[in-house]
Amino acid sequence: MSRRNPWTVFSATSTGVVAVFLNTSGVNVALPTIARELGASAAQSSWVLLSYMLVTTALILAIGRLADIVGRRPLYLGGYVLFTLATAACALAPGPELLIAARTVQAVGAAALVTNTTALLTDTFPPGSLGRGLGLNATVAAVTQALGPLAGGAATSWWGWRGTFLVTLPICVAGLVWSLLVIPRGPAATGPRERFDGTGAVLSTAALAATLLALSPDVLTAMGFPRAGPVLGGAALLLWAVFVAWLRRSRSPLVDLGVLLHRLRAPLYAAVLLNAAAQYAVVVLASLVLQSTGRVGALAAGLLVSPLAVGTTAGAVVAAQLVGRFPARTLVTVGSSAVLAGTVLLAVVLTPDGTYWPVFAGLLAVGFGTGLFMTPGTSLLMLTVPADRRGVANGVRSALQNVGFLLSTAVGLGLATRELTGADRADAYAGALRAAPQVLGAFSGGVRTAMVVLSLLALGALLACLALPARRPAPLTPPADAPANPPTTPPVVEENVP
């Protein structure tokens, strides 16, 4: 690895983090405007979100493994080029079909950016300051997530739905140019090149696709297969079983099962998955409910759901202050409890004609709990694996987190609109739902059911945290000889999710 100032490399990778997170959180708020202005069906509106999440999730492990073999710089830069071009294509898409196609390509680029950011920083920073570099990277991601809904709502209000993509383009172009100049080349390869597990990559991608479709009945109905859900669910279970069996016999598996099967990491990974599944769809459902009857637009909805992102940032800051004083198990348990309390409250108060301030409290609780869980959970995970397995451990964490996001969105949107007719479902996505009592009642009931399911997932995450061993394996603070580099930040590991 050629010598580079690590903070210079950090400045380049940060642009990729900002671009990906700004795009991801901004599109959530812009979805009703996209549906309305493009005339997208309910299934197409779902796929604007789900196609991106599915492809990103499916490719994280494969791209991470491929980067280990061919080098991080070419994968990172290639992903940045692809993400930039696809973002421009999204902004220019004339219809929902081409928008979904462009989002799919955009997701491939995002997977390459997200997967390689931690590895590039780890390769570049000296051990004494690595914690600060990764911690500041997590801060950039959290702040961008907090500002994303607001920026997406403002851009959509000013320039229409295309604005949420146009606002990302200057960041992409500037970041790509800067990355070409400063991202260092990796060391020359020595010895035979390792084998890429193509079979494992195909199996994991197929299993994820079957899982998503099984949980998206509205999409299956729109595709002409309304009763295919149970068949796809069974196929998903079979594919996951074959995938695990393949990993056990493969000499170069896509995922090292030894990283997963550990008395501390197993419940922690379960908590990561369940917490992600419990909280991610909350902002989508809240934005959908607030805009469903046309009472507020995209900008106002972005402001009204911002307590969740603000709470996440606040929770991460508090966790950074407490992580050296309290056991990580205590912090992740309290964080999961806050997520559970917030989702239960929202299951009661989140309705199209309800009062906002209880919703505000629920969003703030979910966000704060997420932030409080994120930092100590990631730090604890990375401290329980040897240095030569931290890349695999972080890759599995990112993949599980994204699976949770994907499942949260599929289940949340599917349940929230399950009792609506096709026309009313499309109107709900477009922010033009009829005010007829039976329609609003069906929509409110669906949202309540969705929030109850999210609450049950949050309860599962809390139980997983309680199953963690009481004794932590190592202190969660950086080494005493860590140099005083620029801005002091929490001793955490990157928290990166598109």
pLDDT digits (tens, 9 = 90+) for 114-132: 888 877 877 787 766 665 6
Mean pLDDT of 46-70: 80
Whether residue 490 lies inside any domain: the answer is: no
Shared domain for 324 and 452, answered yes or no, is yes
Lowest mean pLDDT among 191-205, 372-386, 435-449: 372-386
Shared domain for 302 and 420, answered yes or no, is yes
The answer to whether residues 112 and 63 touch, using CB atoms and an 8 Å cutoff, is yes
Q: How far apart are CA 421 and CA 446, in angstroms?
A: 12
Shared domain for 177 and 88, answered yes or no, is yes
The helix or strand, by DSSP H or E, that contains position 25, with its residue range, turns out to be helix 6-38
Whether residue 481 lies inside any domain: the answer is: no
Dihedral of the CA atoms 446, 405, 24, 145 (nearest 10)? 100
Whether residue 461 lies inside any domain: the answer is: yes
**Could you tell me the CATH number of the domain that includes residue 70?**
1.20.1250.20
The answer to whether residues 325 and 381 touch, using CB atoms and an 8 Å cutoff, is no
Domain residue limits at 121: 6-186+254-466
Whether residue 403 lies inside any domain: the answer is: yes
Shared domain for 112 and 242, answered yes or no, is no
* H helices present in 183-228, as ranges: 198-214, 217-222
The answer to whether residues 8 and 485 touch, using CB atoms and an 8 Å cutoff, is no
Cβ of 483: how many Cβ atoms within 10 Å?
9
Shared domain for 325 and 382, answered yes or no, is yes
Shared domain for 326 and 433, answered yes or no, is yes
Bigger pLDDT: 289 or 241? 241
- pTM (predicted TM-score): 0.74
If pLDDT is split at 50, 70 and 90, which confidence band does 137 have? confident
pLDDT at 316: 77
Angle (CA) 12 16 17, round 5°: 110
Portion of the chain with pLDDT greater than 90, in percent: 29
Shared domain for 31 and 165, answered yes or no, is yes
Whether residue 404 lies inside any domain: the answer is: yes
Whether residue 397 lies inside any domain: the answer is: yes
Whether residue 488 lies inside any domain: the answer is: no
pLDDT digits (tens, 9 = 90+) for 83-94: 999 999 999 999
Q: How far apart are CA 411 and CA 432, in angstroms?
A: 22
The answer to whether residues 383 and 323 touch, using CB atoms and an 8 Å cutoff, is no
pLDDT digits (tens, 9 = 90+) for 189-210: 555 566 788 898 899 888 877 8
Shared domain for 239 and 270, answered yes or no, is no
The answer to whether residues 153 and 303 touch, using CB atoms and an 8 Å cutoff, is yes
Shared domain for 150 and 224, answered yes or no, is no
Shared domain for 81 and 211, answered yes or no, is no
Shared domain for 182 and 63, answered yes or no, is yes
pLDDT at 498: 35
Shared domain for 106 and 157, answered yes or no, is yes
Mean pLDDT of 378-396: 66
Residue 197, amino acid:
D
Q: How far apart are CA 207 and CA 214, in angstroms?
A: 11
Whether residue 494 lies inside any domain: the answer is: no
pLDDT at 263: 81
Residue 229 CA to chain centroid, in angstroms? 24
Q: How many domains, in total, are found in the chain? A: 2
Bigger pLDDT: 413 or 454? 454
DSSP state at residue 387? G
